[in-house]
Amino acid sequence: MRQLGIMGATRAKKCFTTKADPAAVRAPDLVKRNFTAERPNALWVADFTYCSTWSGVVYVAFIIDVYSRRLVGWKAARSMTATLVIDALNMAAWARRHTTLDQLICHTDAGSQYTSIAYTERLDDIGAAPSIGTVGDSYDAMAESVMGLYKTELHRNPAALAANGGPWKGLDDLEVATCGWVSWFNEERLHSELGDCTPAEIEALYARTPQAPAA
């Protein structure tokens, strides 16, 4: 890398989006930092981050399938309300509409968006169990890692900004760039934790195994 003049991008975090509601009833922690799964749709993790645009801050929420690291749902919005994370959950449920979500666990931090009645009711609608970690220790979570990759590969790196049409004027431009990044992340990006395979390849391999349930 030094010979080629290549430098790694930094992933420092400057702002925190987790704001817990002290009056909310929290779901139990069903994960206990064991971010592993034996099949798709067994464990999803969710989080959201922020990006700066010319017209102001835009928040982007993601849902990741732990088994394959696939980004199954995402949403960008100008405010970090419960609607933001519910829309990402709706996309994930739609993306997995041909499979069962029985016994699915959806793990998040204790942010007020994820403890809201609207979000927990939507989880119940799709048959998923909520799981919430404790405040302030999400750095060990897979979702936190994906947020870092998103900011580094799309938003913070000047070369990545230029390649993805940035800096962005507002929500619409950022949505287009994020859509392209999500597609690349799922279909082309090699993941060391997956044996240098893509999430799409891991799920395709699982679907070909005799143990895979029929859609």
pLDDT at 76: 97
Determine how many CB atoms are found less than 10 A away from the CB of residue 62. Answer: 26
Complete domains list, the chain, with CATH: 43-208 (3.30.420.10)
Residue-wise pLDDT tens digits, 55-106: 999 999 999 999 999 999 999 999 999 999 999 999 999 999 999 898 999 9
For the record, the structure tokens of 104 come out as 């699915």
Residue-wise pLDDT tens digits, 7-20: 665 555 444 455 55
CA distances from 56 to 40, 59, 163, 171 (A): 36, 10, 21, 9
For the record, the structure tokens of 203 come out as 């799920």
Helices 199-208 and 171-187, packing angle to 10 deg: 50
Helix (H) / strand (E) containing 50: strand 43-53
Task: Identify which of 201, 214, 206 has the alpha carbon closest to the alpha carbon of residue 37.
Answer: 206
Residue-wise pLDDT tens digits, 104-145: 999 998 889 999 999 999 999 999 999 998 665 554 568 888
Contact 186, 71 (CB under 8 A): yes
Residue-wise pLDDT tens digits, 142-200: 888 899 899 888 866 666 666 666 678 899 999 999 999 999 999 999 999 899 999 99
Does the model's pTM come out above 0.75? yes
